[in-house]
Amino acid sequence: MNTNCFKTTAVAAVTLLCIFTSISISAQTVDFKSIDTFFKIADKLSQNKNVKKSDWKKLYKTAAYQKLKINQSDCKDIREAMELTFLSKNKALCDSLLTAPYSTNDDDYYLKLLLRNCVNLAKNYDDVKNVRQSYDFEELKAQAIRQFHDFMPGVNDSVLSVPNIYFYFFDPDCYAIGNSIMLDFNFFYRNPQRITGTLAHEIFHAYRHHFLDTKNIYSNALLDVLDRIQDEGIADLINKKGSEYSAKLLTELGFPIDLEKRYLESVANCSDWISRLDSLTLAHLDGAVSYDTYKKQIYNLISSNAHPVGYHISQLLVKNGLKAKMLDSFYNPIEFVKLYNSIAESEEMHVFSDRFMSYIEELYSKN
């Protein structure tokens, strides 16, 4: 636990004020309503008190869950995970679910994931609640800004923004939605220092989005796919410690082991993945595949690969001394692909075809 963040001192306050003043950032929202409502219901359940339908509805209606756009199935899984964890009568059933085989192919995969996260939170319940009350979340944001500046010195501070932060209970992860960061509180609790990097990662996304030619990028599936690879690949350099670490972290957080294996397979097969994207695009250009079919194919290809593929490419660029050039064009996916192509052969990776490169340049310059 990073004890420095617990210090609410005059020095920290002055430091934070100076940082926000110098980069023209106004204080953003840190919303605890969802996790606080979670705690109230958990307290009732652990005391075998009645939880009304209105209590559950109040939880589901919190801003965090509304931004996540949870559906009825999600609501059911959240409630079931909490009741299995905090109601003493459900201990045997809870234990059996925790010891049962577990994979992303299971029909009840998401329930098992939430259950593991909820049980982990319950093990440290009193301390988790104490952290909620005592942690210096403003200093957390200030640290994230400093880490972002360290990664990208010389940024345009006038457009730098700190996303709003919403704490809740869900899967042990973090999501960026618009100008908001959705953060599972137990994910934060288990390693606050890791969250500093996560916030810096999300600040990069928000900063990059300001410069992105969104109308052009989102007008074509291929540009969108390449943009995701660049966006996640560069951002991962801020807070990841290598592909193997990133993969093992998934299992450490409670995700099934097959997800870790798939991540490492994506890295190992990165060259084949790039070759597949190249060949699918050429088939589309030849008229063998309609745009709608091609669009589905490449979105399926990227569905779980943006992070491992993008991060692997970014690491190769850094390895080859191209970090500065990569950051100079951090919002241009075409330049990112060009940089990759310049070192692909020496790294024994697939080199995008000339026809592919001409096509993406044409797409990017259309608007």
- The pLDDT of residue 241 is 86
- The pLDDT of residue 174 is 85
- The pLDDT of residue 28 is 65
- 8 — alpha (psi -120 to 50), left (phi > 0) or beta? beta
Q: Which of 188, 211, 234 is the last residue of a domain?
A: 211
pLDDT of 161 strictly over 80: no
Please tell me the total count of domains within the chain. 3
C-alpha distances in Å from residue 296, one per residue of 218, 221, 293: 15, 9, 5
Q: Which helix (H) or strand (E) holds 167?
A: strand 164-168
- The pLDDT of residue 367 is 55
Residues 223 and 328 in one domain: yes
Q: Which of 69, 92, 124 is the last residue of a domain?
A: 124
Give the pLDDT mean for 208-217: 90
67 inside domain = yes
Lowest-confidence pick of 13-27, 90-104, 166-180 = 13-27
- The pLDDT of residue 104 is 87
Give the pLDDT mean for 29-57: 96
Residues 110 and 139 in one domain: no
- The pLDDT of residue 22 is 33
pLDDT of 170 strictly over 70: yes
Domain span at residue 327 reads 214-365
pLDDT of 250 strictly over 70: yes
Condensed to tens digits (0 to 9), the pLDDT of residues 255-292 reads: 888 888 888 888 889 999 999 999 999 999 999 999 99
Taken as a whole, the chain contains a residue count of: 367
6 inside domain = no
What whole-number percentage of the chain has pLDDT above 90? 65
Lowest-confidence pick of 27-31, 138-142, 203-207 = 27-31
- The pLDDT of residue 27 is 42
**What φ, ψ does residue 332 adopt, rounded to 5°?**
-120, 100
Residue pair 122/186 in contact (Cβ under 8 Å)? The answer is no
Residues 205 and 228 in one domain: no
Residues 166 and 271 in one domain: no
